[in-house]
Structure 1
Amino acid sequence: MKSPVLSAAQLHRKLDNPNLIILDCSPQSNMSGLKPEFQNTVIQNARYFDIEEDFSDLTSGLPHTLPSPEQFQENCRKLGLDNSSEIVVYDNLGIYTSPRVWWMFRVMGHEKIAVLDGGLSAWVKAGFPTQTEHDTAKKRGNFTAHFQPELVSDIDFVKQNLTKKEALIIDARSRERFNGTVPEPREGVRSGNIPGSVNIPFEEVLKDGKFKEKEELRSIFKEVNDPSKELVFSCGSGVTACILFLAGELVIDQKKSVYDGSWAEWGSREENS
């Protein structure tokens, strides 16, 4: 797909495409206190992408950890996804978990993936067709994962960067959480931030559940960005970091990755205090 973000009208015009697969990755709950505008409503023909179970590494001890390529591939095949599939992903909170899924597909080497700007709310308000239950795959797919390690950063890289300072860590949490003036919502995780990191709360790149215009996004990144460095996005558990990653993808050419463990990992280890 040409753009990583599609409007509801653009998606509606693609509905006759035989390769189109719509994925709903709406979360069961979230740490940001967001509430869906529409309940028990699904975009017509959408399949459910289970970001909590099927597409997370449940053995990691951390929330939402990127699964292995083998796990990701197998569950994509169960969803009926092919290498030729043109995927559009959305969630029921406007823009929340959908950029995480977009990033995961990119990590697994699939570039025919886009996020529905405004999510379910934008689709319903445009009067486009919905249903009450998800579709299921009629056949097993042939999706093949090709892992792209450069899009993922781990705790070792972030630790080394404390002295090397080759990357700029951008944290998507709220200013209160970043500054440590409120407690972290996860038990056993202290307050604060990664030394040397900067803060862009993910809500700042959004307006009414959609990404802001590119000129506004450029201005937001310009306030904190160092064009000479690669960018590593972090948050509480690796979800809202992907919102900033995608916003950056729209306006910045620098190398980008997501620190998958994010503050849930960094803030739970005593040696990092």
Structure 2
Amino acid sequence: MSSSPTPLVLKPAEVAAIQPRNPGDLVVLDASWHMPNSLRKAREDFRKSHILGSYFLDLDEVASSHPLGLKHMMPSPELFAQTCEQFGIRPDSHVVLYDTHGVFSSPRALFMFRSFGHERSSILDGGFPAWRAANLPTAGGEPAPLQRSSYPTAALHPDVVVGYDDIVTNENKDPDQDTSAFIVLDARSQGRFLATDPEPRPGLPSGHIPHSFSLPFQVFLNAPNEVQPYVTLRTPEDMRSSLENVLPRGHLDAILEGRRKVATSCGSGMTAGILWLGLQTLGAKAAIYDESWTGYAMHKLQEKEQKPQ
């Protein structure tokens, strides 16, 4: 296995060309996840068809508990290590993550692996649809039992996850005047950001975190077309252009040069991973507000209820 830096993103042919010498050298995981109002069930889809030799990673199960009941929050170091052991992943394993949308939830899974220091990890650009379009091997049913590995407990990298207290402190700063204020990019639709469209989670108001910027995750993606009927990541140049169209003058250069921190957010911390991945491809270090808008809005509702009348 090569010791050179592992690419963040791989094409199907590049994954198919990897020739592991030993079990566990390459581990492929289906990290598909669907919105709460979707009729699709990711685990059922996996049983119907998946990349030959892959296993299903449930991001809602590999997660820490949250006092607000939020799903797919970053797991504890112990749970992450246990999960790796269950999948036969070693510290030197190359983990390839994909989803059935093309590019949707796999970046969130990649964020998890990279945040715990597992640098030998990538996503499959175009996901399962691109794999099938390339006529590469697939299978159905449950995969063969795995041989457990040994995986050391590793600490979460500092500054990769932003919490509610960080957001509250930050929203009281002026990002145009105070360079200690981090930039928040919101991956939800502009309608939800502007509160003109409802949130998909019942009872949750729409709106946005003060001083945040609307950057719907789709602007980092190529939509399906007749030639390429699946979603893929846009080029770094295109993603940079999208950021320049949204951020005030000078903000992007400050982010890319490491002079300003940036955090991504969405509805529940899932598609924020797409913006995180795009920033990574541009060489920027980014964090994710794990609770995202769901947690933020719930905290605000709680505070309003607890406030004396």
TM-score, normalization by structure 2 = 0.81
Deviation at 1:137, TM superposition (A): 4.7
Alignment-derived partner of residue 234 in structure 1: 265
Deviation at 1:10, TM superposition (A): 0.6
Is 13-22 or 165-174 further displaced after alignment?
A: 13-22
Aligned counterpart for 1:180 among listed residues 175, 195, 198: 195
How many Å separate the matches in 2 of 1:70 and 1:16? 27
CA contact (8 A) 1:90 1:119 kept: yes
- In structure 2, the CA distance between the partners of 1:87 and 1:15, relative to structure 1 (3 Å rule), is same
Give the percent of matched residue pairs that are identical in Structure 1 and Structure 2.
Answer: 34
Alignment-derived partner of residue 56 in structure 1: 63
**Structure 1 residues 44-123: aligned runs within 5 Å:** 44-53=52-61, 55-60=62-67, 61-123=69-131
Alignment-derived partner of residue 207 in structure 2: 192
Structure 1 alignment gaps of length 5 or more: none
How many Å separate the matches in 2 of 1:117 and 1:231? 24
State whether structure 2 residue 233 is matched by structure 1 residue 211: yes
CA contact (8 A) 2:279 2:285 kept: no
How many Å separate the matches in 2 of 1:272 and 1:161? 20
State whether structure 2 residue 125 is matched by structure 1 residue 125: no
CA contact (8 A) 1:42 1:134 kept: no
Aligned counterpart for 1:266 among listed residues 269, 290, 296: 296
Q: Deviations over 1:28-60 (max 9, x none)?
A: x32585979x9521101001111121x122444
Q: Larger RCO: Structure 1 or Structure 2 (Cα < 8 Å, ≥ 6 residues apart)?
A: 1
CA contact (8 A) 2:37 2:200 kept: no
The SS at the match of 2:128 is helix
How many Å separate the matches in 2 of 1:258 and 1:86? 23
State whether structure 2 residue 162 is matched by structure 1 residue 153: yes
How many Å separate the matches in 1 of 2:267 and 2:274? 12
Alignment-derived partner of residue 8 in structure 1: 12
Structure 2 alignment gaps of length 5 or more: 176-180, 225-230, 255-259
TM-score, normalization by structure 1 = 0.92
CA contact (8 A) 1:34 1:93 kept: no
How many Å separate the matches in 2 of 1:32 and 1:116? 25
